[in-house]
Amino acid sequence: MDGHQLQELAVFVRAHSGKGAGILWPEHAAPQDWRGRPDGLAAGLALLLDRPVAAASCAAVPFPNPDDVLVFQLRGSSGWQLTPPGTRAEASPRKLRLRTGEALFVPRGYFAQAEQTDSSRRLCLVVGAARTA
């Protein structure tokens, strides 16, 4: 992954942190770019954001999560239902579809539920709170 791709991703995370969920249709990345080494992607993003970033199994990421989560759709698609924190249980969640090559930002505290086919594949990064001096 080159510097343009990481910069675009960092801008995306900064734009949505503390504001809400979002989907990135990368201008500088193709689906195969997310298939690199997850730890390298996490380290590069951590440097740009000055926040801890770690690769995680998407199946192991709990929702609601105490940290922000980035989901990269590597292959296939997945359906998502997102409910902001403090929303009543009977409120209808925001529904969206994440397609190959797209990235989803799920802010801390959101309840997220994913549905995917057996052939789809995704990568998750957990983005921790900003570092303080």
The domain 3-127 having CATH identifier 1.10.645.10: the answer here is no
| Torsion region of 106: left, alpha or beta (phi above 0 gives left; psi -120 to 50 gives alpha) | beta
Please tell me the distance from the alpha carbon of residue 29 to that of residue 94, in angstroms, as a whole number.
26
pTM, two decimals, is 0.88
pLDDT tens by residue, 112-127:
999 887 888 899 999 9
Using only the alpha carbons of the chain, give its radius of gyration: 14
Residue ranges of domains in the chain: 3-127
pLDDT higher than threshold 60 for residue 107? yes
- Give the whole-angstrom CA distance, residue 133 versus residue 129: 13
